[in-house]
Chain A
Amino acid sequence: MIIFAAHVFLSFMEDLKTTLKQQIIESLNLQGMKPEDIDDNAPLFGDGLGLDSIDSLELMVLLERNYGIKIEDAREGRKVLGSVQTMAEYIQQHRTV
């Protein structure tokens, strides 16, 4: 039973990350990029995807629009927007829609 639940959870997380990657690509207009091109754990800012401060605002809007998550604390925001993995984990715990 526990193994089945873990399997369901992992599958759910994989789907969430794929959806999230697609939303990031559309929201930030990352032309020519596909979900599989984005590494789950690669940093979104700096060396990874190379996003900038305006992109971070766009990602905040993405979280609010699609998952009902409002991040008020900038330090928390930096942690949450670290990678697709950290975003997905935060969404899984805090989503309201």
Chain B
Amino acid sequence: MIKHPLYIKAACAISPQHSFGDTPVLDPVVPSEGNRFVAVDVDYRAFINPVAIRRMSRLLKMSISAAMKCLQNAGVSMPDAIITGTGRGSAGDMQHFLKDMIMMKEEALNPTFFIQSTYNAPNGWIALQSKSTGYNQTFVHRGISLELALLDAQLLLTETGDNQNILIGSYDETTADYFVVKEKLNYWKKETVASEHLYQNNETLGTIAGEGAAFFVVSGEKEGATCSIESLEIIHQPAPTMIRNKVHEVLAANGLTTDDIDVVLCGRSGDVRFEAWYNVLEDFTTQTIAGFKHLCGEYETTSGFALWLAHHIFSQASVPESTILQKGDRKEIRHVLIINHFILDTVSITLLRG
């Protein structure tokens, strides 16, 4: 539970959509291919030292570029702290390294894959690039990794004072090996589904795989902020009624009711196992309900894309057409509620104020 608002000053995301840059475009939508989304590459060389970039994995390039662009957007050259969340970190480099260990019988292993296979490799590179020697932490907790990074940022601001600029981010990549392994565990749909029809295909197991990196500059000070995170709750493997109760509890704790919410961003993924987790949406009949997993796919830190989308909605004062599942009647956007889940795991509820 966040007891002190986290003010978001800037946001940046690299995703399967054209979300990067000064004018993000979510219409028209980039569709998935074969139940898998791949992030749109950007000009990484504009943000990363050319000598260093040649040995970087895609995940490193994505996360560093998103982080540096976010700092640029916020007008912050050196953050006071860097806190990130990731479900799998540098999975690609780790897989290279483990495959090498088997093939080479644990001899003559490439140092680069080893060095960069750690979960917090992006944090280290971002710190080097931005010359930040402050607090640096990476949270690795499956579907609530970014959420824990946000809670840690709130604790840090409580300890150090509101005027700190904290760079918060999330990153995950879907490698070919990961896709194959998780396919066997029914993470992805057996039948090929067009991403634009994801929500209509909600009677079978699985969803569409995705990936992305999202970064935010947050502070305890309101000045220059687009929106603030007022509440953040995490529920582990909940019953549907628990989610409904928790949503109302969060709203009541902030002096709000469902009527005060203007937009709900829901993490529905078309997976029949989790549709009931979103029964609470029945309580939002006049609000705009928007989906985002038909844009970014499923991965541990989709909350990063959702948070970026919320920031985008506040800054544009409108909800992108391509995300709308139910059109609401609100003229102004003051409160956005994000309800998200990760496969078989956790649900998070985030309340934002514009």
Contacts and interface: CB of A to CB of B under 8 A. Distances in A.
Interface of A: 28-31, 50, 52, 54, 57-58, 61, 64-65
B239 interface: no
Most buried by B among A31, A61, A64: A61
Interface in B77-117: 104, 107-112, 115
B110 A64 contact: no
Given A57-B111, A64-B108, A52 B54 contact: no
Contacts, number: 24
Contact of B55 (A29, A61, A64, A65): A29
A29 B111 contact: no
A58 B104 CA distance: 14
B111 A58 contact: yes
Contacts of A58: 110-112
Contacts of B115: 54
Interface SS of chain B: helix, strand, loop or mixed?
loop
A77 to B, nearest CB: 14
A24 B52 CA distance: 16
A61 B107 CA distance: 9
A29 B54 contact: yes
A57 B110 CA distance: 8
Interface in B107-143: 107-112, 115
Interface in B201-229: none
Interface string B45-63: 0000001001100000000
Contact of A61 (B51, B54, B111): B111
A52 to B, nearest CB: 7
Contacts of B54: 28-31
Interface of B: 51, 54-55, 104, 107-112, 115
Nearest 8 pairs of A and B residues by beta carbon = A64-B108, A57-B111, A29-B54, A65-B108, A61-B108, A61-B110, A29-B55, A31-B54
A52 B108 contact: no
B51 A64 contact: no
Given A29-B55, A64-B108, 11 more contacts: A28-B54, A28-B55, A30-B54, A54-B55, A54-B111, A54-B112, A57-B111, A58-B110, A61-B108, A61-B110, A65-B104
A50 to B, nearest CB: 7
B107 A64 contact: yes
A64 B104 CA distance: 11
Nearest to B116: A54
Contacts of A30: 54
Contacts of A54: 55, 111-112, 115
A35 B173 CA distance: 33
Contacts of B107: 64
